[in-house]
Structure 1
């Protein structure tokens, strides 16, 4: 079960746990570290190689923990450092690597550093840890520039100085409670090297780096008033944005990589970098920088054979040019779950959350395509990421009552963007248990839809053809046949069909309406749905065959 330590990450399947919503050990309605530890056997049985945990640090939770108040501790909601140590040790005992989230672009406004900055005067060392500037216009009443927050509204907040007068402005590319750090400050750089050491010394195997493309801003903070897209990256055909993908980020990651390389066991860095084109994203995974970067181009690729091939080819070529592995991902905590996205018409604009009064997806079609997309993804060479619950076929909670929404995107967009709560609802383990087995009681921090009983793990385990058993079979075959380290060769690609060879397998996906014919003598190892009565591949189905 344990992946090889020889560059284990190059073909690892890594499972994302969103701690609030995975398992609640104490019944307060919030997931926690003891709950995660108790459910690690599920990940072992599923067949993944590693677990990545979203933030569990002390935080006021204005952005679900991505507003960190203390990088060296555990929020009491989730447990304590002893619970973290037990979780890491138990995961290693189960043969799982452990990655934790690192949030270096900004702190919480509750972080001690920011409190010191507010109490200090303009130009002080305390303010130099963040991005403070004087305002424009008479009396400095206007923001320093026109930058916008990706959560909506201006990216600047004015402070009240110690004498009670209106003062400087600070930058927050996200929520106002998430002030951006100044990565030109040596103290900031030294602090995060210390944070890395703290968790490496506790045994973590790597870090997923939040907003990895955003740490360094253009030095003169030149004006930029383009409308922001929530985690949507930088348009490839426009001028470069002064707050994203600046050259200075690479120096930071080279320093981090040098530190990680001093530890045994191949510790890794993974970039959350919404960067286009693929060639620029590949610069984050050059040999002396990060090990992996999330492939958001693939996540957003339309459900079409030729479009899928184009993204796969581009991704592989860009990463191979720098000797890096390619990652594949279909869902995470920031996007609408793919079992729901794929239930909408092909080519629809990217969704930023779904509410009860929005057009609803075709649930059956979405799951059918999601299963086919998963088998296509898990056959590709490189490393794959799974988001908790996708192995159950979970859809988005598309009818979540608006009064329960907690994503700051909902409030800061003046309630025009539903945000990400729908993909963060606690997952179901037992169909007939309170909170579907999420915790010992019936509490859950976001309400679970009644329809989720049918997706519960205990309704799918050992049931042939269930989504859970399909994932287990795919991960077993992927490992057995070494697909993650094999070479891909294209056989056919049209808008309706995609076929390639990988290792000993032939992988075929039918995107069209008409059934597709298998090669003569082909032996089906795994199919996302049953073949038709004539032994052909139906629409929206992927098969793995020996031929």
Structure 2
């Protein structure tokens, strides 16, 4: 493993949802010019890399996850030259650049799919996707009963070139996102070519969307789970052949001097991701189990232990408390979670709870939670705006919502728009400094209360959420690196408290509603930081975390 890859496996990566980060040309949509302008803010935070959500050409039915051309840049975001300049400037700031790759599906506007629509059944063009004849007397029923992640059937029927109702194509997500047929070697060859194209441009690695997808069961049999359609459909996910993809991708990256790969792998609780992070496959996979746990020490500890165990002998996990698919941490931790240890089918939904929120409580907990995650062995992914303590915008007007989840569910599921609102940079400027465009032209509306969270206001306060976030990132490099194995100090029955040693430090998180007295036997006297502020080494306030420096901690 190269030093650059090793740094990513233990570093801090900032997730850029480009559309909402910063608008550099005044059209109401974030872009590459805007990202380049704000790179110093990311570097100053103390990050090692940026991960950019899809910025390829796309009709934006799923805001970039429906790709029409894998080798170009969406004109909404700028030019190819803008992207090359971004890489150059990011590297100058010491930031590696990760792109998002979407191998499970593309856009209906992709040239391959358009060719398939204009070709005959069983043609080479159709064999790049998963086309099947329907069931029923006239093929009017889908080929099986699979349900889309976004709601409704996972199959859509096409009109043949002759004008007759024809075959059906599979889409595990929106109907605008046809699934590739990875049992066709041409697909594998195409994606290796795509990876190499971007490596030639200087990209340092990829986050892999739906890394447990791609292959489906060869028979495409019905989902026979007893709780269908709310089940985890094992025929759709986690097929053994998927690992052949990542062995070839790892070999490709290694041949290019060492390129980093991290997978989005959503699997049922208790199903290990260890196979995905074997020495010849992905470097890391996201430890999502921790993200969806309620604010309870036993559940969080179990999720941490599970994540560390499943990748034992390989790299440590990639941790995250938020991303573009779930509600922001301040909101989640300010709610009464609806269920402990959510089922596989409900894991992502557990991160999108619309219950009443105590923002003050959620803010305290979110800061304690990031202190917990930053102290854990592995890498930490920070979703843009989390450093500002932004809550979720739950009350977006219905007419402004754009998520296909909202559209396909006929409004039953409000979707993910609330965590994708354009960021507030300056409280005194139009659109809170995100864009010079007219307010009504922003791609998603900002709430007026965003002013309170604007970076310009937080920069002036020594005890702001942003200031504490920066402090934690700075101390992380001093206390918890070089990275060490985790050793628990707290017993499982110590109460609602988590305490462990890692590197040169000790992290103690008090998840209880009352203060916690640190046992004298832990010998913790050198307090480095507490997220609530103003406390003594031996007392940890409710819903806060303390970091200690212990020179004799295990390495």
Classify 1:531/1:106 alpha carbon distance in 2 versus 1 (closer, same or farther; 3 Å).
same
In 2, Cα distance between the equivalents of 1:346 and 1:112? 44
Pairwise CA RMSD: 1.8
- Residue 168 of structure 1 deviates from its aligned partner by 0.4
- After superposition, the Cα gap between the structure-2 partners of 1:353 and 1:6, relative to the gap in structure 1 and judged at 3 Å, is closer
Query: Which residue does 2:163 correspond to in 1?
Result: 164
- Distance, in Å, in 2 between the alignment partners of 1:209 and 1:479 is 27
Equivalent residue number for residue 510 of structure 1: 510
| Structure 1 range deviating more: 498-507 or 373-382 | 498-507
**Alignment partner of 1:307 is 2:299:** yes
Structure 1 match to 2:114:
115
d(CA) in 1 for partners of 2:378 and 2:506? 17
CA distance in 2, matches of 1:64, 1:173: 16
Distance 1:302 1:352 in 2: 10
Greater shift after overlay, 501-510 or 192-201?
501-510
- Does residue 288 (structure 1) correspond to residue 288 (structure 2)? The answer is no
Question: What is the aligned partner in structure 2 of residue 218 from structure 1?
Answer: 217
Which runs of no fewer than 5 residues in structure 1 stay unpaired?
Answer: none
Structure 2 residue matching 1:184: 3-state secondary structure: coil
Deviations 1:162-186, CA, capped at 9 Å, x for gaps = 1111110000110001000000111
Query: What is aligned with 2:530?
Result: 527
Matched, 1:445 2:443: yes
Alpha-carbon offset, residue 242 of structure 1 = 0.3
Match of 1:241 in 2: 234
Other-structure match for 1:500: 500
| CA distance in 2: counterparts of 1:6 and 1:337, whole angstroms | 28
Deviation readout 1:260-299 (Å, 9 max, x if unpaired): 11112x3111111102356531111100001111111111
Q: TM-score, normalised by structure 1?
A: 0.94
Structure 2 CA distance for aligned equivalents of residues 137 and 44 of structure 1: 58
8 Å CA contact retained: 1:389, 1:427? yes
- Cα pair 2:375 2:480 within 8 Å, conserved: no
| Rounded Cα–Cα distance in structure 2 between residues aligned with 1:36 and 1:546 | 36
Seen in structure 2, the aligned counterparts of structure 1 residues 104 and 521 have a Cα distance that, compared at 3 Å, is closer
Count of aligned pairs between the two proteins: 532
Q: Distance in 1 between matches of 2:537 and 2:221?
A: 63
* Deviation (angstroms), 1:360: 2.5
Shift of 1:428: 0.7
Change over 3 Å in CA distance of 1:442–1:112 after alignment to 2? same
Deviation at 1:303, TM superposition (A): 1.0
Give the 3-state SS of the residue equivalent to 1:314 in structure 2: helix
Residues 1:278 and 1:541: Cα distance change in structure 2 (over 3 Å):
same
2:482 aligned with 1:489: no
SS in 1 for 2:8: helix
Distance change (3 Å), C-alpha of 1:441 and 1:297: same
Instruction: For residue 309 of structure 1, report the CA deviation from its aligned partner.
Output: 1.1
1:414-453 paired onto structure 2 within 5 Å: 414-443=410-439, 444-453=442-451
* Equivalent runs, 1:130-209 vs 2, <5 Å: 130-209=129-208
Q: List aligned pairs for 1:209-358, cutoff 5 A.
A: 209-224=208-223, 227=228, 235=232, 241-264=234-257, 266-277=258-269, 280-321=272-313, 323-348=314-339, 350-351=349-350, 353=352
SS across alignment from 1:139? coil
Check the 8 A contact 2:524/2:548 in 1, yes or no.
Answer: no
Q: Report 1:360-509 matches (<5 A).
A: 360-443=356-439, 444-461=442-459, 463-483=461-481, 485-493=483-491, 494-509=494-509
Aligned equivalents of 2:95, 2:187: Cα separation in 1: 32
Residue 14 of structure 1 aligns to a residue in which SS? Answer: strand
- How many angstroms apart in 1 are the aligned matches of 2:25 and 2:403? 24
Relative to structure 1, the CA distance from residue 194 to residue 278 in structure 2 (aligned partners, 3 Å threshold; closer, same or farther) is farther
The alpha-carbon deviation at position 222 of structure 1 amounts to 0.7
CA distance in 1, matches of 2:535, 2:262: 41
Matched position secondary structure for 2:24:
coil
Between 197-206 and 476-485, report the one with greater CA deviation: 476-485
Preserved CA contact (<8 Å) 2:526 2:537 = no
Q: Offset at 1:347?
A: 5.0
The SS at the match of 1:20 is helix
Distance 1:399 1:383 in 2: 33
- Alpha-carbon distance in structure 1 between the residues aligned to 2:425 and 2:273: 37
Q: How far, CA to CA, are the matches of 1:167 and 1:198 in structure 2?
A: 36
- Select 2:541's aligned residue among 538, 542, 546: 538
- In 1: Cα distance, 2:413 partner to 2:524 partner: 51
Q: CA deviation at 1:86?
A: 0.5
What CA deviation, in whole Å up to 9, does each residue of 1:286-331 have, x standing for no partner? 000011111111111221111111111111111114x122111100
- Cα deviation 1:493-535 (Å, max 9, x = unaligned): 4441111112222211111122112456613211111245897
User: Aligned equivalents of 1:455 and 1:119: distance in 2?
Assistant: 51
Matched, 1:101 2:100: yes
Structure 2: gaps spanning 5 or more residues: 343-348, 551-555
- Whether contact under 8 Å (2:332, 2:351) holds in the other structure is no
